[in-house]
Amino acid sequence: MSQRIYEAHPLENRVVIAGYGEPKSWTLDVFEKKLGGYKAARGAVKAEPDSLITTVKDAGLRGLGGAGFPAGVKWSFIPKNPTKPVYLVCNADEGEPGTFKDRQIMEHLPHRLIEGMICAASAIGSKTAYIYVRYELRLARERLEQAIEEAYKAGYLGENIFGSSRSLDITVHPGAGAYICGEETGLIESLEGDRGQPRLKPPFPAISGLFGGPTIVNNVETLAHVPGILNNGPEWFVKLGNGTPRGAGTKLLCVSGDVKRPGFYEIPLGLPLNSLLNDICGGPLEGRKFKACYPGGSSSPLLRADEFDTPMDFDSLAAKKTMMGSGAVIVIDDSRSIPEMAMRTARFYAHESCGQCVPCREGTKWVSKMLKRLTMGQGSFSDIDKIKSACNNMAGKTICVLSDACAMPVVSMLEKFRPEFEAIAKPDDEVQPALPKISGQMAALMSLVRERQTQK
Amino acid sequence: MSYKFSPALEKKFEWLKSRYPVQDAVLIPLLHFVQNEVGYLSLDAMEHVAEKMNISPARVKEVASFYSLFRFEAGGKYVLQVCHNLTCYLKGSDQLLEWMEKNMELDDSGNSKDGVFRVERVECLASCGTAPVIQANNWDYFEELNLEKLQKIVEALRAGKWACASYEDRIQEGSVA
């Protein structure tokens, strides 16, 4: 489980991963004494909840798991006098292809997440919190569990934390390999011990979520930013980014694929994509040129290389009809085939569709099959339009956005790289209708039938 | 019914129940513990879980079957999960898989003939910065792989020379989470 630890690049600004690479940064001792940890939590447990929410709202902290919804606003949706217990859930089901940022926080700075959760729980009045972690992230789970144990022993979790009247219990809850559990209501279903199929909204989780109580679901990175904001004030956080309240703070980006130095980098929001890929990541591999990239995980529509001057912040990316998402930049160079990437993207969503809504369950599979056919040289020109029409019937027609997450990048590839699809497609009359490959039980059954027939 | 929770798991079960206001919520963490003890979710293991949790066995299977990490048949000693998603594909996971199919004598469901390995194609393992990646037994990550490295790993595992523990080893060490 090694990630290369580079020295921070001058263009980077390490805030949420400050202290990364410090020996034993995951222990309470180092976190508290060397990295100044738990200062914000000490104040937060005694502060007025409303003032905490206002501070986070003013800072413009946005949900960094993908949606970008303002965290303080989300917190303020919790009813003032709830009749049921309020829950805080940390979404650590990092599953978006290309993303490996939350892992770094959990493995190296688990106490920063715990501190963030203490602050958030104080703001929303929650006494019970869960961290829903992908089971695959073994080291992250272990380090979190150790950190939670240390925090209980130190009196930072449990009853009367930091000598205040507040109490908070945190439990690490493992997932079991389902991408859809990263969707907040799917996660809640899974946490309740059910199949992780998303719920219809409304009611939103802030009104009725986990075990029927008001619930806030926040991403790891979002929660880990909270202590810094409480310590340094909202203006500090706004200045970290591009200077506007809608582009405040820093963002952990995970760069992977065809670049010289893949890895995760914490950049101020608004840094141009070019600068990230060429200056920080060392540019394309020898003898190759950038072709395109997914700027925010596999769900985000692609940007062509000539669009790499886009600043990496929520609004600038939205203006280019793509999104910040989870901040996973997957870079594709000129040696790669876009239809192949499209097929792998669609296949992922076909595999991960929970099967509740027909447009998604069927659509993701059709699209992935048609793309497979194209990449195998058995697709026709009309398939290209069929894929597009299927995608148009998937987006915005389902309970959650998994269906959109499949349709959006595929449509962007069809629009921006159509000649590549056309180059591998054949005229309609040259394509043989594909015969299904028969194997397994069906083949056994058919041979049995044939045997019987010959016996007669 | 032959399977019963080990005394250690009984304790874990009690602890789990104390962490949630509703007992149903312990099901998924509990199934992980059971799978780590048995190696997979056998029918009698699921029946035992159902009895312990006072729910129907069908309910246990209903939930478990949703999640790709639960296995319902005994597999190899080492389950190698090979990521074939975007970044790993860019970095050569197809060549790894091709090599494995050619050289490891795998049947249709990915089990090797000698029963040592089970190879599964999986989606993103959240280690794209060090692609291509294989995870063994939901435990060790093998990163930045190439054919040479993979060959060495497979040989080492086959010879029992790798620290990557099988389920049984991990239980004996007490390192099963």
Q: Which CATH number covers residue A255?
A: 3.10.20.600
B161 and B84 fall within a common domain:
yes
Q: Is residue B28 assigned to a domain?
A: yes
Is B90–A135 a contact, with Cβ atoms under 8 angstroms apart? no
Please name every residue paired with A267 in a beta bridge, in sequence order, or none if there are none. Answer: A251
pLDDT number for residue A443: 80
Is A255 within 8 Å of chain B by CB?
A: yes
Beta-sheet strands, E only, within A123-249: 128-133, 169-174, 215-219
A164 and A109 fall within a common domain:
yes
A112 and A227 fall within a common domain:
yes
B86 and B154 fall within a common domain:
yes
Per-residue confidence of chain A (456 residues) as pLDDT tens digits? Answer: 445 566 789 999 999 999 998 889 999 999 999 999 999 999 999 999 999 999 999 999 999 998 899 999 999 999 999 999 999 999 999 999 999 999 999 999 999 999 999 999 999 999 999 999 999 998 899 999 999 999 999 999 999 999 999 999 999 999 999 999 999 999 999 999 999 999 999 999 999 999 999 999 999 999 999 999 999 999 999 999 988 888 999 999 999 999 999 999 999 999 999 999 999 999 999 999 999 999 999 999 999 999 999 999 999 999 999 999 999 999 999 999 999 999 999 999 999 999 999 999 999 999 999 999 999 999 999 999 999 999 999 999 999 999 999 999 999 999 999 999 999 999 988 887 655 666 777 788 878 888 887 776
pLDDT number for residue B169: 46
A44 and A115 fall within a common domain:
yes
Is A141–B177 a contact, with Cβ atoms under 8 angstroms apart? yes
A224 and A82 fall within a common domain:
yes
Is A92 within 8 Å of chain B by CB?
A: no
How many Cα atoms within 13 Å fall on the side-chain side of residue A110? 25
Nearest Cα residue in chain B from A348? B123
Q: Is residue A99 assigned to a domain?
A: yes
Of A1, A4, A257, the CB nearest to B87: A257
Is A330 within 8 Å of chain B by CB?
A: yes
Is B58 within 8 Å of chain A by CB?
A: no
What is B106-152 written as a DSSP string?
A: B-TTSBBTTSSEEEEEES--S-GGG-S-EEETTTEEE-S--HHHHHH
A139 and A222 fall within a common domain:
yes
A174 and A274 fall within a common domain:
no
Assign A173 to helix, strand or coil. Answer: strand
Q: Is residue B97 assigned to a domain?
A: yes
Residues of chain A with Cβ-Cβ distance to B27 below 8 Å are 193
Percent of chain B scoring above 70 in pLDDT:
90
Q: Is residue A47 assigned to a domain?
A: yes
Report the interhelical angle of B43-53 vs B27-38 (nearest 10°): 140
Q: Is residue B173 assigned to a domain?
A: no
B99 and B50 fall within a common domain:
no
Q: Is residue B73 assigned to a domain?
A: no
A112 and A211 fall within a common domain:
yes
Residues of chain B with Cβ-Cβ distance to A98 below 8 Å are 86-87, 124, 128
> How do the residues of chain A divide into helix, strand and coil, expressed in percent and rounded to 5?
45, 15, 40
Where is the domain boundary, A333, A365, A399? A333
A313 and A347 fall within a common domain:
no
- Average pLDDT score, chain B: 88
Q: Which CATH number covers residue A375?
A: 1.20.1440.230
A319 and A226 fall within a common domain:
no
Q: Is residue A444 assigned to a domain?
A: no
Please check the confidence at residue B161 and state whether its pLDDT lies above 90.
Answer: no
Q: Is residue A328 assigned to a domain?
A: yes
Please check the confidence at residue B174 and state whether its pLDDT lies above 80.
Answer: no
pLDDT number for residue A59: 96
Instruction: In whole angstroms, give the CA distance from residue A227 to residue A39.
Output: 8
A210 and A304 fall within a common domain:
no
Of A2, A179, A256, the CB nearest to B128: A256
Q: Is residue A187 assigned to a domain?
A: yes
Residues of chain A with Cβ-Cβ distance to B19 below 8 Å are 169, 171
When scoring A132, A294, A344, A361 by the number of chain B Cβ atoms within 10 A, the one with the most, hence best to mutate, is: A344
pLDDT number for residue B170: 44
Each residue's pLDDT tens digit, B85-133 = 999 999 999 999 999 999 998 988 888 888 889 999 999 999 999 989 9
When scoring B20, B69, B80, B87 by the number of chain A Cβ atoms within 10 A, the one with the most, hence best to mutate, is: B87
* Structural domain boundaries enclosing B125: 78-168
Q: Is residue B174 assigned to a domain?
A: no
B108 and B150 fall within a common domain:
yes
Of A178, A294, A345, the CB nearest to B66: A178
Beta-sheet strands, E only, within A321-406: 328-333
Q: Is residue B93 assigned to a domain?
A: yes
Q: Is residue B2 assigned to a domain?
A: no
Residues of chain B with Cβ-Cβ distance to A88 below 8 Å are none
Report the interhelical angle of A101-108 vs A110-124 (nearest 10°): 100
Q: Is residue A13 assigned to a domain?
A: no
Is A3–B129 a contact, with Cβ atoms under 8 angstroms apart? yes
Report ipTM (2 d.p.).
0.90
Whether the CB-CB separation of A196 and A190 falls below 8 Å is answered with: yes
Each residue's pLDDT tens digit, A148-192 = 999 999 999 999 999 999 999 999 999 999 999 999 999 999 999
Is B31 within 8 Å of chain A by CB?
A: yes
Residues of chain A with Cβ-Cβ distance to B25 below 8 Å are 173, 191-193, 211
Q: Is residue A8 assigned to a domain?
A: no
Q: Which CATH number covers residue B117?
A: 3.40.30.10
B94 and B156 fall within a common domain:
yes
Provide the number of structural domains found in chain A. 3
B82 Cα to chain A: minimum distance (Å): 13
pLDDT number for residue A453: 78
Provide the number of structural domains found in chain B. 2
Residues 205-234, chain A, touching B (beta carbon < 8 A): 211
* Structural domain boundaries enclosing A398: 338-430
Is B170 within 8 Å of chain A by CB?
A: no
Is A97–B28 a contact, with Cβ atoms under 8 angstroms apart? no
Residues of chain A with Cβ-Cβ distance to B123 below 8 Å are 95, 97, 179, 348, 351-352
Assign A2 to helix, strand or coil. Answer: coil
Residues of chain B with Cβ-Cβ distance to A103 below 8 Å are 126-127
Is A108 within 8 Å of chain B by CB?
A: no
Nearest Cα residue in chain B from A194? B63
pLDDT number for residue B163: 56
Is B86 within 8 Å of chain A by CB?
A: yes
Of A100, A178, A354, the CB nearest to B128: A100
pLDDT number for residue B158: 86
B84 and B59 fall within a common domain:
no
The answer to whether the bond into B21 is cis (omega within 30° of 0) is no
Nearest Cα residue in chain B from A333? B90
Is B63 within 8 Å of chain A by CB?
A: yes
Where is the domain boundary, B15, B30, B64? B64
When scoring A127, A136, A331 by the number of chain B Cβ atoms within 10 A, the one with the most, hence best to mutate, is: A136
pLDDT number for residue B164: 53
Cα–Cα separations (whole angstroms), residue B167 to A242, B77, B174? 50, 8, 10
Is B93 within 8 Å of chain A by CB?
A: no
Report the interhelical angle of B93-103 vs B147-158 (nearest 10°): 40
Place of tokens 């729910």: B55
Q: Which run of H or of E encompasses B153?
A: helix B147-158
A212 and A105 fall within a common domain:
yes
A317 and A342 fall within a common domain:
no
Nearest Cα residue in chain A from B130? A3
Is B24–A192 a contact, with Cβ atoms under 8 angstroms apart? yes
Where is the domain boundary, A275, A298, A333? A333
pLDDT number for residue A1: 41
A328 Cα to chain B: minimum distance (Å): 9
Measure the CA angle with vertex B85, ends B79 and B89; round to 5°.
100
B36 and B116 fall within a common domain:
no
Q: Is residue B177 assigned to a domain?
A: no
B158 and B127 fall within a common domain:
yes
Instruction: In whole angstroms, give the CA distance from residue A171 to residue A173.
Output: 6
Q: Is residue A450 assigned to a domain?
A: no
pLDDT number for residue A5: 61
Is B124–A138 a contact, with Cβ atoms under 8 angstroms apart? no
Where is the domain boundary, A333, A358, A384? A333
B83 and B157 fall within a common domain:
yes
Please check the confidence at residue B175 and state whether its pLDDT lies above 50.
Answer: no
Is B147 within 8 Å of chain A by CB?
A: no
B153 Cα to chain A: minimum distance (Å): 15
Please check the confidence at residue B1 and state whether its pLDDT lies above 80.
Answer: no
Residues of chain B with Cβ-Cβ distance to A142 below 8 Å are 177
